[in-house]
Every structure is written in structure tokens, then in C-alpha cells.
């Protein structure tokens, strides 16, 4: 059995713009109805564009008047009413039936209606209120039905776009075409994601509807121009469809991101295969690993508030991805549990890359520390480089505080100390070398350690050390004697001084 060929590309149902469609009748439309034949507008021409959404009969002073009502009243009842009070309640118009043919509206009443901008309609004598009510109410219901049908038609068109593979750009294009105004989709931070339609030179206003899915605010869809309730309904439908598209895109992106991160984790663990397989596989992600590379590890500083850890990690990943895309399009960036790892070309300045990513966090009060490995020639050496970058970020933060940016080759003696696989061995060395001076919670011992550190830094220059510590010369001499009684004759023993220097360095690395 033969099959007809399928045309490429998703079919798109395009609706034409029909202008503004209000869920009610304008006062001008009400005047043109057969039930009001012979009626005339006595005052309030400025309010002919008001929309009538409901009707009411004013048969006494206690009638509750609601906004957008067409009020029907007899001349006798109206003469006892305060027009300003009625207008303050927001009626669309006032239709008055005179008591006898030829009766004229009082000039005071006409002038007051004109001043208030309230349309004052004079019905022919003998007009039945029931006939007016039936015709106007039928017209309002028909108009509301048309509005609902139009909104449903737009909703079906938007859903069809999504079912045929369209994205948020196609959704916004459709809404802009239907409404005939400029429309934009903004993210949660107010940045424009997509836009469509010709901007209005001086828009009369705008409508904004949040895009919410699964309890998360994904931004809002905004339309600029002279818009009403019908357009609001269309925007609400569009926001629902946009939320569906955004949620789908995020789900797909999350799966792809996890797949890329899992593969990069295998590469850094040395279990992803040979260099040719790794470079070929990563090329499918847009990553260029067939060149000299450095590994960069970024870790958030400090614990984030409960519930914000994932969001902060996502923002860190986004910042690094954006910075890498601008500076090195072939860089590999992935988010692990508590860090972001980037593989960048050796020609790139990793410190400048970190500074660019950090600039995006400046207003969020979040800092991260960065460690950079040595340059390696190919994928086979990446596991070792990853370990170097991890040590650099942790040692750098310990030495320089939050926001540190450290290169493995710049760690000096700390690099050697970080290579000792057993931290307990380092701590034992500190205790054996410093004795009581190793106590971290004793203010006196901490003060003596500072004195020892300055002495070693100045190569035992007593005068310079006293100046730096703001001590009297004799006071420092007394402290040196006390330190030698605790530690041994370090002023005469170069090997002991080396051990003390290393022990103090290890103390600075405590907690790594």
C-alpha cells in the first residue's frame, strides 16, 4: 500500500488578528439595537465607548448599582436620585423613560451627566423595559460566547503549535499575530527570552501574566498595547501553554545535562575509554578535548540556606557555562554534586574566566572559590589534573578565604603537603613538632604561634619582628626564650626551623 509523502516541518495553525473583542456591548452598540429604536443620547457622548456587561432597573433609591451596568429608570425615579452618587458606582450608562411623550430631561440633569461623562439615553415614551432587557442581555450573552469561542480557538492553535514541536518563540509569535501587538516572554529575573510583534510607539498600556508550572514561577508573558479582558484571557491561555513548553524544555535539558555530567565524571575518573573515543564522544556535546587543556574546579563558599543549595549550584553552573561559551566555545562545563568542573583550552586565562563568572554573582551575595590544574596534553592525563584542581580550590580557600582563585603550581610548599595521602600523618607531625603550641583553642598558644611565625618569616631578625608585632625588644627576647624552652633551640638549629615552618604551614591547612 502506498503512502503519500509527509511534508517536513510542523504544520502551524495561524489565526488572523480580529481586533479587540470585549465580553460585552459598548454603549454605542446598545444605542443601535432595535429595542432602542427612537432613543437618543442626551448627554455623556464621551462615554459611548464604555462596555455594558450587565443590566439593572433603578426603581428606588436603595438599588445596588454595580460597575458596567446599563441602568434603566423612569423620569420620576431619576428626579429623586443623586446623579453624582450613581456615577461614582461605575455604571456604563443610564437609560431614562419619560413619564409622558414630549417630556424633556431637566437641563441640570443633562449638564451633570455631561460633566461626569455618564451617557444619558432618553428612551421613547412607552418603551417596555422588558423588551430592552431581553435584547441587550441577548446581545451581551452572544458577545461573551464569541469571546469564549475566540479564546478557545486561540488555545487550540497554541496547543497545536506545541504538539507539532514548536517552542516558546512560536507561541509568542502566534499571540502577537492574534492580538496585533508586541508580545515578549520574560524569565524570572525580567530578562527577555523571546519577543514578537512590532513595538507600539507609545503603547496605551500593557498586560502581564505569570508563567507558572509545578508551583515554580518561570517568568511572565507581557503584551503591550490597548488591551482588555479578552486579551487578558488569551494571554492567560498563552501563559499556560508557555509553562508547558518551558517545563518540557527544562526536563529535556536536565536529562541532557545529567548525561553530559556523567560522561565527564567517567573521563575524570579514567574509565571513559581511550583518547580517540573520548574526543569523538565529547565532540557530539560541542566540547573540544583534542588539544592541551586545564581543569578548573569551582566550589561554592560556605553552606547555603536550606532549600537554596540546588538553586545556588544551578546559578553557579549557568554562570560558568555562559562565561565559558563567550571565552572558549569548545570548553566542557558540567555540574557535579558540590562543584562545577570546566575543561578549558590551555591558551585561555582560567583566572579571567573565573572573574567573569564571579561578576554574575556580584549582586546575589554568593561567592565561590576556584582551583586550576596544570596543563595536560590529552584526555588520559585529565584524572590527575582534576585532582590537582580540587586540591588547589581547597587549599586556596583555606589560605586566602572565600572567593580564592588558586593555581596548583602556585601553591608552593602547600602543594607538596597536599600530596600527603593521609591527613592523620600530617596532624601527628604537627603535634610532635609544636607540642603544646599546636593547641588551636588556646589564646596564649595562638599568640605564641604568631610570634614564632613572624620570627621565621623574618629569618630570626629580632628587631624587624618586634617592629611588626609592636613589641618591645626585651619583650620579644623573653618570648624567644619561652619558645625555645617549649620547642628546642630553633634559633641555632636550621633543621628544627624547617620542621617548625612546615608544621605551621600544615596548621594553616587544617580542615583540608
What is the 3-state secondary structure of 373-424? CCCECCHHHHHHHHHHHHHHHHHHHHHHCCCCEEEHHHCCHHHHHHCCCCHH
Range of the domain at 350: 270-411
pTM: 0.54
CB neighbourhood size of 127 (10 A): 19
Rg (CA), the chain: 39
Longest pairwise C-alpha distance within the chain:
127
Q: What is the pLDDT of residue 81?
A: 67
CATH no. for residue 158? 3.30.450.40
CB 294 within 8 A of CB 383: no
What gap in Å lies between CA 10 and CA 372, rounded to an integer?
46
Query: What pLDDT is recorded for position 464?
Result: 92
Q: Are residues 397 and 285 in the same domain?
A: yes
> Using 50, 70 and 90 to split pLDDT, how confident is the model at 17?
very low
pLDDT digits (tens, 9 = 90+) for 380-430: 999 999 999 998 888 888 778 888 888 988 887 777 777 777 778 888 888
> Where a domain ends, among 139, 166, 197?
139
The number of folded domains in the chain is 4
Q: CA 86 → CA 134, 150, 382, distances in Å?
A: 23, 34, 80
Residue reference for cell 591527613: 423
pLDDT band at 287 (very low <50, low <70, confident <90, very high): very high
Region 372-385 average pLDDT: 92
Report residue 484 CA to chain centroid gap: 60
| pLDDT given at position 403 | 85
Which of these ranges, 44-58, 100-114, 366-380, 446-460, has the smallest mean pLDDT? 100-114
Pair (174, 42) in one structural domain: no
CATH of the domain at 295: 3.30.70.270
On the question of pLDDT at 291 being above 70, the answer is yes
Provide the pLDDT for residue 1: 37
**Alpha-carbon distance 77 to 84, whole Å?**
15
Mean pLDDT of the chain: 82
Position 264 in a domain: no
Question: How many Å apart are CA 464 and CA 457, to the nearest integer?
Answer: 10
- pLDDT-derived band at 119 (thresholds 50, 70, 90) equals very high
Residue 510 CB coordination number (10 Å)? 13
Q: How confident is the model at residue 2 (pLDDT cuts 50, 70, 90)?
A: very low
Which has the minimum average pLDDT: 272-276, 300-304, 491-495? 300-304
Cα separation, 176 vs 173, whole angstroms: 5
Which residues lie across from 97 on neighbouring strands? 74
Segment among 233-237, 312-316, 416-420, 487-491 with least mean pLDDT: 416-420
Are 105 and 96 in contact, with CB atoms under 8 Å apart? yes
SS3 assignment, position 303: coil
What average pLDDT score do residues 4-30 get?
Answer: 54
Helix (H, G, I), strand (E, B) or coil at 344: strand
Residue with cell 603535634: 431
Nearest CA-CA partner of 219 in 249, 263, 197: 249
Q: What mean pLDDT do residues 89-98 have? A: 89
Q: Where are the beta strands (DSSP E) in 61-102?
A: 69-74, 93-97
The pLDDT assigned to 219 comes to 85
- Is 281 in the same domain as 394? yes
pLDDT at residue number 305 = 57
pLDDT at 204 (0 to 100): 59
Percent of residues in the chain assigned helix, strand, coil, to nearest 5: 50, 15, 35
Same domain assignment for residues 154 and 131: no
Last residue of a domain, one of 220, 251, 282: 251
Q: pLDDT-based confidence at 208, cuts 50/70/90?
A: confident
| 46, HSE (Cβ side, Cα atoms, 13 Å) | 6
Amino acid at each position: 500500500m502506498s503512502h503519500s509523502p509527509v511534508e517536513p516541518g510542523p504544520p502551524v495553525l495561524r489565526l488572523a488578528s480580529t481586533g479587540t473583542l470585549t465580553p460585552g456591548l459598548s454603549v454605542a452598540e446598545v444605542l443601535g439595537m432595535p429595542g432602542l429604536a427612537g432613543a437618543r443620547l442626551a448627554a455623556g457622548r464621551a462615554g459611548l465607548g464604555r462596555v455594558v456587561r450587565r443590566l439593572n432597573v433603578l426603581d428606588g433609591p436603595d438599588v445596588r448599582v454595580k460597575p458596567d451596568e446599563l441602568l434603566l429608570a423612569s423620569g420620576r425615579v431619576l428626579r429623586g436620585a443623586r446623579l453624582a452618587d450613581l456615577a461614582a458606582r461605575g455604571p456604563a450608562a443610564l437609560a431614562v423613560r419619560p413619564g409622558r411623550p414630549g417630556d424633556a430631561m431637566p437641563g441640570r440633569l443633562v449638564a451633570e451627566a455631561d460633566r461626569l461623562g455618564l451617557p444619558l439615553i432618553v428612551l421613547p415614551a412607552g418603551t417596555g423595559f422588558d423588551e430592552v432587557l431581553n435584547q441587550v442581555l441577548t446581545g451581551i450573552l452572544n458577545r461573551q460566547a464569541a469571546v469564549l469561542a475566540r479564546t478557545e480557538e486561540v488555545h487550540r492553535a497554541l496547543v497545536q503549535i506545541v504538539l507539532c514541536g514548536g517552542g516558546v518563540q512560536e507561541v509568542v509569535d502566534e499571540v502577537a499575530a492574534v492580538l496585533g501587538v508586541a508580545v515578549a516572554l520574560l524569565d524570572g529575573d525580567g530578562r527577555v527570552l523571546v519577543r514578537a510583534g512590532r513595538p507600539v510607539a507609545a503603547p496605551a498600556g500593557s498586560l502581564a501574566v505569570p508563567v507558572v508550572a509545578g508551583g515554580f514561577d518561570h517568568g511572565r508573558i507581557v503584551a503591550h498595547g490597548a488591551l482588555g479582558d479578552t486579551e487578558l484571557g488569551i494571554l492567560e491561555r498563552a501563559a499556560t501553554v508557555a509553562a508547558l513548553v518551558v517545563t518540557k524544555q527544562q526536563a529535556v535539558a536536565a536529562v541532557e545535562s545529567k548525561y553530559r555530567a556523567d560522561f565527564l565524571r567517567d573521563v575524570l575518573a579514567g574509565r571513559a575509554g581511550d583518547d580517540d573515543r573520548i574526543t569523538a564522544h565529547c565532540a557530539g556535546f560541542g566540547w573540544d578535548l583534542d588539544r592541551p587543556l586545564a581543569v578548573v574546579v569551582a566550589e561554592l563558599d560556605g553552606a547555603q540556606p536550606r532549600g537554596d543549595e540546588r538553586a545556588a549550584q544551578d546559578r553557579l553552573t549557568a554562570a560558568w557555562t555562559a562565561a565559558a561559551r563567550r571565552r572558549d566555545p569548545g570548553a566542557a562545563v558540567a555540574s557535579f554534586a558540590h562543584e562545577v568542573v570546566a575543561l578549558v583550552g590551555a591558551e585561555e586565562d582560567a583566572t579571567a574566566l573565573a572573574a567573569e563568572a564571579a561578576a554574575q554573582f556580584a549582586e546575589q551575595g554568593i561567592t565561590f572559590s576556584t582551583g586550576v590544574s596544570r596543563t595536560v596534553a590529552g584526555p588520559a592525563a585529565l584524572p590527575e589534573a582534576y585532582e590537582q584542581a580540587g586540591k588547589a580550590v581547597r587549599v586556596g580557600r583555606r589560605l586566602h578565604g572565600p572567593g580564592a582563585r588558586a593555581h596548583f603550581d602556585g601553591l608552593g610548599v602547600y602543594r607538596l603537603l597536599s600530596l600527603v595521602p593521609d591527613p592523620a600523618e600530617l596532624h601527628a607531625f604537627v603535634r610532635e613538632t609544636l607540642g603544646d603550641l599546636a593547641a588551636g583553642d588556646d589564646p596564649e598558644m595562638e599568640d605564641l604561634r604568631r610570634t614564632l611565625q613572624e620570627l621565621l618569616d623574618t629569618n630570626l631578625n629580632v628587631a624587624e619582628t618586634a617592629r611588626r608585632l609592636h613589641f618591645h625588644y626585651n619583650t620579644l627576647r623573653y618570648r624567644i626564650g619561652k619558645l625555645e624552652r617549649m620547642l628546642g633551640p630553633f634559633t641555632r638549629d636550621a633543621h628544627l626551623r624547617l620542621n617548625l615552618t612546615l608544621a605551621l604551614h600544615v596548621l594553616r591547612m587544617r580542615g583540608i
